Amino acid sequence: MLTIVGVLLGSAATSVFASTMERTRWRRAQSARWDDKRLLAYSEYANAVKHMVRLCRRIAETRGLLSTGRPIELDSALAALAEAETERAARWETVLLLGEPATISAARTWSEQVWGLEQILREDHPDAASFMNAYRNAMRLRNEFYARARADLGITSGPLPELAWKSLEPPPPSPDHPATP
């Protein structure tokens, strides 16, 4: 009788241990799967917002707000910016679905700042200093988004380096674009 009880206890313990190990393995696999999907959602969203920022920068160059001198046809750039916003909005839904709350908040704040860039650029007489301040803030918020996303994904390689934007110096005044007071 004692032998049978020992066998039953051993069998039950083995079954519980195997079940626990299998459940742990499954959870780990699910976690890795969701991490992969979150990584894709975050990177696609970041690329969509960055595309908007690049378009804003090119429009700013065209309007004489930045001195890097890579102008673009204004009407087509503004149309491309509207299309880029549509793409960003589509990517946003996946971030909302899979993202961690602090990362979602950082993504939202970054996007709102980029919308501010667009608003400045759509003004009749945009101010270069206002644009540069908004642009710097957008880049700072981008880094905050990346820091949150990296933390959510368990990336522990350290903080992102500080940004230094030498290309944000105001352009010299010209007859086409006089200096703003």
Range(s) of the domain holding residue 99: 35-160
Which pair of structure tokens corresponds to residue 25? Answer: 């393995």
Sequence-separated (6 or more) residues with CB below 8 Å from residue 105: 148
Q: How confident is the model at residue 158 (pLDDT cuts 50, 70, 90)?
A: confident
User: Whole-angstrom Cα distance, residue 10 to residue 28?
Assistant: 27
Question: Does residue 51 belong to any structural domain of this protein?
Answer: yes
Question: Does residue 70 belong to any structural domain of this protein?
Answer: yes
User: Whole-angstrom Cα distance, residue 84 to residue 72?
Assistant: 16
Which pair of structure tokens corresponds to residue 71? Answer: 């102008």
For the segment 69-86, what is each residue's pLDDT rounded down to a tens digit? 778 999 999 999 999 999
The secondary structure element, H or E, covering residue 112 is helix 101-122
Which pair of structure tokens corresponds to residue 135? Answer: 């642009």
Question: Does residue 7 belong to any structural domain of this protein?
Answer: no
List of E strands, the chain: none
CA distances to 74, 119, 131, 161 from 63, rounded to whole Å, are 8, 13, 11, 30
Question: Does residue 144 belong to any structural domain of this protein?
Answer: yes
For the segment 57-73, what is each residue's pLDDT rounded down to a tens digit? 999 999 999 887 778 99
Predicted confidence at residue 161, as pLDDT, reads: 80
Number of domains in the chain: 1
Question: Does residue 13 belong to any structural domain of this protein?
Answer: no
Q: How confident is the model at residue 24 (pLDDT cuts 50, 70, 90)?
A: low
Q: Which residues of 32-60 are buried (b: 16+ CB within 10 A; e: fewer)?
A: eeeeeebbebbebbbebbbbbbebbbbbb
Which pair of structure tokens corresponds to residue 10? Answer: 């051993």
For the segment 110-153, what is each residue's pLDDT rounded down to a tens digit? 999 999 999 999 999 999 999 999 999 999 999 999 999 999 99
For 153, phi and psi rounded to 5 degrees? -85, 0
CA distances to 14, 60, 69, 129, 148 from 74, rounded to whole Å, are 71, 10, 14, 20, 34
